[in-house]
């Protein structure tokens, strides 16, 4: 079997899972792009694919992996490799693992129509509203595969089922809707329903972690990522921080064209508000 995951940390996770459960032994492949954000128009053409790649390059400027990540992979080639393996070995199966989050589900929507010719050999395991046991022995409902202990995957494997012919007919329509809408942000609203949101969807999460005191932008980024309930990637959040700076909602000192550690930020107008409050109190 070939396991498909959508997050880098899950490759190592699946290796640990296979060490504990030999019945799950196989290859692990990853779909790397985050289709929950960014343009989706015409991804089946070189022009559309390159437009998305350029969007990511713009967002990645100054990031720790701008030169190493963006453009270093092509998920289309991963899919072609998968299809070749399925053609070469007619007993081979693909197992698509999904957590209950917009990142995995949009990745699934992009991937599965391309595997339609192998219907019956493409399995899906969706951790949708399913309870698991955490390290403290407590029941919880994970949103991401990485939240599940490796030993718990032996139970999860029982969920594996073939993607039905009906799903191969209906789910691509959901992807088509997302492409036509072409929102900047996409959210999971239950089941496999994805809804488009504005590019400012995460702005309030960022603002909540900024004060009237100067902080490293990288610290605000880290705090936002750790505290936000609906997760997205660091590159996208830093892009929004820079956008809020350009809109005058965040004050900045330092060089925003360099790395994320090279500039500090605070709420715009914070000093004026504090001075006004002090003057009012004095009166």
Full-model pTM: 0.90
| 6 shares its domain with 135 | yes
| 82 shares its domain with 218 | no
Residue 279: per-residue pLDDT: 46
Residue 67: per-residue pLDDT: 58
Q: Residue 147 falls within a domain, yes or no?
A: yes
Q: How many domains does the chain have?
A: 2
| 126 shares its domain with 222 | no
Structural domain that includes position 210: 203-282
| 216 shares its domain with 267 | yes
Q: Residue 197 falls within a domain, yes or no?
A: no
The domain that contains 71 carries what CATH number? Answer: 3.40.1360.10
| 21 shares its domain with 138 | yes
| 156 shares its domain with 252 | no
Residue 69: per-residue pLDDT: 64
Helix 234-246 to helix 46-59 angle, to the nearest 10 degrees? 70
| 138 shares its domain with 93 | yes
| 21 shares its domain with 129 | yes
Residue 270: per-residue pLDDT: 66
Residue 73: per-residue pLDDT: 83
The span from the CA of 160 to the CA of 24, in Å, is 11
Residue 66: per-residue pLDDT: 58
The span from the CA of 112 to the CA of 102, in Å, is 15
The span from the CA of 26 to the CA of 3, in Å, is 7
Q: Residue 157 falls within a domain, yes or no?
A: yes
Termini Cα distance of the chain: 75
Residue 258: per-residue pLDDT: 87
| 148 shares its domain with 207 | no
| 161 shares its domain with 239 | no
| 212 shares its domain with 168 | no
Place of tokens 């969807």: 201
Place of tokens 């994970």: 142
Sign of CA dihedral 58, 65, 197, 39: positive
Question: Distances in Å between the alpha carbon of 124 and those of 24, 136, 234?
Answer: 14, 28, 28
Cα dihedral 257/258/263/266 (nearest 10): 40
Q: Residue 142 falls within a domain, yes or no?
A: yes
Residue 68: per-residue pLDDT: 61
Question: What parts of the chain have a pLDDT lower than 50?
Answer: 272-283
The domain that contains 253 carries what CATH number? Answer: 1.10.10
The span from the CA of 202 to the CA of 171, in Å, is 27
Residue 280: per-residue pLDDT: 42
Cβ distance 189 to 152 under 8 Å? no
pLDDT in tens, 211-232: 999 999 999 999 999 999 999 9
Assigned token pair, 91: 């007993």
Cβ distance 6 to 188 under 8 Å? no
Q: Residue 190 falls within a domain, yes or no?
A: no
DSSP per residue, 160-191: -EEPPHHHHHHHHHHHHHHHHH--SEEEE-ST
| 168 shares its domain with 233 | no
């Amino acid at each position: 079997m070939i396991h498909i995951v959508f997050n880098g940390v899950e490759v190592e996770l699946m290796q640990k899972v296979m060490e504990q459960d030999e019945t799950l032994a196989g290859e692990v492949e990853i779909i790397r792009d985050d289709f929950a954000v960014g343009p989706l128009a015409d991804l089946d053409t070189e022009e559309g694919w390159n437009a998305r790649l350029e969007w990511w390059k713009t967002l990645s400027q100054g990031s720790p992996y701008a030169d190493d990540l963006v453009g270093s992979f092509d998920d289309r080639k991963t899919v072609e490799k998968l299809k070749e393996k399925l053609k070469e070995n007619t007993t081979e199966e693909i197992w698509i693992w999904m957590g209950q989050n917009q990142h995995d589900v949009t990745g699934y929507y992009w991937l599965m129509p391309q595997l339609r010719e192998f219907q019956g050999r493409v399995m899906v395991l969706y951790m949708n509203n399913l309870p698991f046991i955490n390290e403290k022995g407590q029941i919880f409902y994970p949103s991401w595969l990485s939240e599940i202990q490796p030993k718990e995957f032996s139970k999860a494997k029982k969920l594996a089922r073939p993607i039905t012919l009906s799903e191969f007919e209906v789910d691509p329509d959901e992807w088509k809707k997302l492409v036509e809408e072409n929102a900047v942000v996409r959210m999971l609203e239950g089941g496999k329903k994805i809804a488009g949101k504005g590019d400012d969807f995460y702005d309030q999460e960022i603002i909540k972690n900024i004060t009237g005191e100067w902080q490293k932008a990288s610290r605000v980024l880290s705090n936002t990522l750790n505290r936000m309930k609906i997760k997205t990637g660091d590159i996208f959040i830093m892009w929004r921080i820079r956008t809020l700076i350009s809109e005058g909602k965040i004050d900045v000192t330092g060089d925003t064209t360099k790395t994320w550690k090279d500039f500090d930020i605070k709420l715009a107008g914070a000093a004026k508000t504090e001075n006004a409050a002090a003057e009012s109190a004095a009166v």
